[in-house]
């Protein structure tokens, strides 16, 4: 008997220790649930009614526990999920097909005051002797979603401003006496529709015509602001001087005075005397233009120089050439030569050859032909924006 009594005492002690451990665990779990900022809700699988509703849920939804316990959890859902909820649970219980259970999903919930808000929802299931229950953990992400929406709105507004600026920068005259010209711009991607490539042509005095191509680094409103400074600066500074180098130097100073633009830009600016064909020009780090003359092509070199925006003390020089009555000068941005087919670049030599074999024909067709050659080479995948501007004297 003594041995049996000893065993009984040990069993009672073990049971009491287990009971105390379980009670301590229960207290820990309840403390966690009661202090969790997230909503933690338990739902019965028999009638989909709420059996527990923690303080986090009270704060989130605006209901007291007494107001929701015993009621269908669909009361916390807006339409159309409210009408679909019971059918979904029945489908899961009958088929075992999981759509929400075991996953974290972005959903909508509704507060007592009728406000619909964004949540992350995680649902798990547990089998107890008293039946099957679902545990839902709900996190209010409305502040984050609202902030993201606000940010998207701001970015969209900035993109629209930049697009408007660039469209104005790419607006060209229909015609100018003494010259023929054509142009094309194409963005590398739709998401980066606003780039830093521009071109321009405008009348000067005494039968001269100014023409420009530039490429500011980056995309978006910063690049558009930089090209706005360049285009307007070139037009303004070209008045009263016949030196493109002076125009470029003053444009560089202008960009330096507006550090908010924060951009480097390559540019080529030239002035054509439509009567004599004399072209004075200055190249500030831009890809070298190409002249087609008969069956030959020539690069328009002018010595090394820095992009505008790099250094306030950068120096620029003038160069000259004679543009024949049948010659065509082709200006472009580096999106042309840096187009890729795998690891191979389109390159300067390939561009020169495409220009060499292009029939003069209608000048308006040139940009499209050059762009087609580039897109065929790169299989339609451009890594940078493309701007093409071609110019010749009228005959």
**pLDDT band at residue 98, thresholds of 50, 70 and 90?**
confident
pTM for this model (two decimals): 0.64
Distance, CA of 251 to CA of 286 (rounded, Å): 15
Q: Do 228 and 359 reside in the same domain of the chain? A: yes
**pLDDT band at residue 22, thresholds of 50, 70 and 90?**
low
Q: Do 96 and 191 reside in the same domain of the chain? A: no
**pLDDT band at residue 166, thresholds of 50, 70 and 90?**
low
Q: How far is CA 75 from CA 10, 52, 111, 272, in A?
A: 51, 14, 9, 76
**pLDDT band at residue 103, thresholds of 50, 70 and 90?**
confident
Distance, CA of 298 to CA of 284 (rounded, Å): 19
Number of domains, the chain = 3
Assess whether pLDDT exceeds 60 at residue 29.
Answer: no
pLDDT, tens digit (0-9, with 9 covering 90-100), for 207-232: 999 999 999 887 766 777 788 889 99
Query: Which range (118-122, 124-128, 248-252) has the least confidence?
Result: 124-128
- Tell me if 95 is assigned to some domain: yes
Q: Do 67 and 113 reside in the same domain of the chain? A: yes
pLDDT at 152: 84
- Tell me if 200 is assigned to some domain: yes
pLDDT at 385: 85
pLDDT at 395: 67
Residue 24 sits at φ, ψ, to 5 deg, of -65, -40
**pLDDT band at residue 358, thresholds of 50, 70 and 90?**
confident
- Tell me if 222 is assigned to some domain: yes
Q: Residue 338 belongs to a domain with what CATH number?
A: 3.60.40.10
3-class SS at 345? strand
- Tell me if 153 is assigned to some domain: no
Assess whether pLDDT exceeds 60 at residue 26.
Answer: no
Which residues contact residue 98 at a Cβ distance below 8 angstroms, ignoring those fewer than 6 apart? 92
pLDDT, greater one: 105 or 259: 105
Distance, CA of 97 to CA of 88 (rounded, Å): 10
Q: Do 224 and 315 reside in the same domain of the chain? A: yes
Q: Do 331 and 250 reside in the same domain of the chain? A: yes
Assess whether pLDDT exceeds 90 at residue 285.
Answer: yes
What is the average pLDDT score of the chain? 84
- Tell me if 155 is assigned to some domain: no
- Tell me if 146 is assigned to some domain: no
pLDDT, tens digit (0-9, with 9 covering 90-100), for 320-335: 999 999 999 999 999 9
What is the enclosing helix (H) or strand (E) of 36? none
Q: Do 210 and 121 reside in the same domain of the chain? A: no
Domain boundary among 85, 106, 140: 140
Q: Do 22 and 119 reside in the same domain of the chain? A: no
Q: Give residue 119's domain range.
A: 36-140
Q: Residue 113 belongs to a domain with what CATH number?
A: 3.30.450.20
- Tell me if 159 is assigned to some domain: no
Q: Do 256 and 314 reside in the same domain of the chain? A: yes
Assess whether pLDDT exceeds 90 at residue 281.
Answer: yes
pLDDT, tens digit (0-9, with 9 covering 90-100), for 65-75: 999 999 999 99
Tell me the average pLDDT across 6-18. 63
Assess whether pLDDT exceeds 90 at residue 279.
Answer: yes
Determine how many CB atoms are found less than 10 A away from the CB of residue 332. Answer: 29
Tell me the average pLDDT across 200-209. 93
Q: Do 186 and 101 reside in the same domain of the chain? A: no
- Tell me if 193 is assigned to some domain: yes
pLDDT at 206: 85
Tell me the average pLDDT across 22-48. 72
Distance, CA of 153 to CA of 197 (rounded, Å): 25
Q: Do 25 and 48 reside in the same domain of the chain? A: no
Q: Could you tell me if 75 and 48 are in contact, meaning their C-beta atoms sit under 8 angstroms apart? A: no
Assess whether pLDDT exceeds 80 at residue 287.
Answer: yes
Q: Do 67 and 207 reside in the same domain of the chain? A: no
**pLDDT band at residue 44, thresholds of 50, 70 and 90?**
confident
What is the enclosing helix (H) or strand (E) of 125? strand 116-128
pLDDT, greater one: 343 or 278: 278
Counted residue by residue, the chain has a size of 395
Using N-to-C axis directions, what is the helix angle for 244-257 and 221-237, rounded to 10°? 140
In the chain, pLDDT over 70 holds for what percent of residues? 83
Q: What is the dihedral of CA 63, 65, 70, 76, to 10 degrees?
A: 30
pLDDT, greater one: 18 or 114: 114
pLDDT at 18: 61
Q: Do 54 and 30 reside in the same domain of the chain? A: no
Nearest 5°: the CA angle 357, 362, 363 is 80
**pLDDT band at residue 260, thresholds of 50, 70 and 90?**
low
């Amino acid at each position: 008997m003594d041995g049996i009594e000893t065993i009984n005492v040990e069993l009672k002690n073990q049971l009491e220790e287990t009971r105390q451990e379980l009670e301590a665990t229960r207290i820990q779990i309840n403390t966690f649930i009661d202090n969790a900022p997230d909503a933690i809700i338990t739902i019965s699988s028999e009638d989909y009614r709420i059996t527990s509703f923690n303080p986090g849920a009270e704060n989130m939804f605006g209901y007291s526990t007494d107001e929701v316990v015993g009621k269908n959890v669909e009361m916390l859902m807006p339409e159309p999920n409210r009408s679909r909820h019971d059918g979904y649970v029945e489908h899961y219980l009958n088929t075992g097909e999981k759509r929400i259970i075991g996953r974290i999903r972005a959903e909508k919930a509704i507060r007592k005051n009728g406000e619909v808000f964004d949540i992350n929802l995680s649902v798990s299931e547990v089998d107890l002797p008293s039946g099957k229950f679902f545990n839902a953990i709900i996190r209010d992400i409305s502040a984050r979603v609202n902030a993201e929406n606000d940010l998207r709105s701001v970015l969209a507004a900035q993109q629209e401003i930049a697009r408007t600026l660039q469209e104005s920068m790419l607006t060209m005259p229909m015609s100018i006496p003494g010259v023929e010209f054509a142009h094309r711009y194409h963005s590398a991607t739709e998401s980066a529709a606003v780039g830093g490539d521009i071109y321009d042509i405008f009348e000067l005095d005494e039968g001269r015509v100014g023409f420009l191509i530039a490429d500011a680094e980056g995309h978006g409103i910063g690049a558009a602001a930089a090209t706005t400074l360049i285009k307007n600066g070139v037009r303004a500074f070209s008045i009263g001087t016949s030196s493109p180098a002076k125009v470029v130097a003053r444009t560089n100073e202008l960009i330096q005075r507006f550090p908010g633009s924060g951009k480097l830009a390559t540019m080529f600016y030239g002035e054509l005397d439509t009567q004599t064909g004399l072209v004075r020009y200055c190249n500030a780090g831009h890809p070298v233009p190409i002249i087609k003359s008969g069956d030959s092509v020539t690069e328009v070199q002018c010595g090394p120089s820095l992009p505008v925006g790099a250094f306030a003390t950068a120096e620029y020089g003038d160069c000259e050439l004679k543009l024949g009555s049948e010659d065509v000068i082709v200006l472009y941005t580096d999106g042309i030569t840096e187009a890729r087919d795998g690891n191979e670049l389109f390159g300067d030599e390939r561009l020169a050859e495409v220009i060499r074999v292009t029939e003069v024909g209608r000048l308006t067709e040139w940009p499209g032909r050059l762009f087609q050659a580039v897109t065929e080479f790169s299989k339609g995948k451009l890594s940078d924006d493309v701007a093409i501007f071609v110019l010749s004297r009228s005959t």
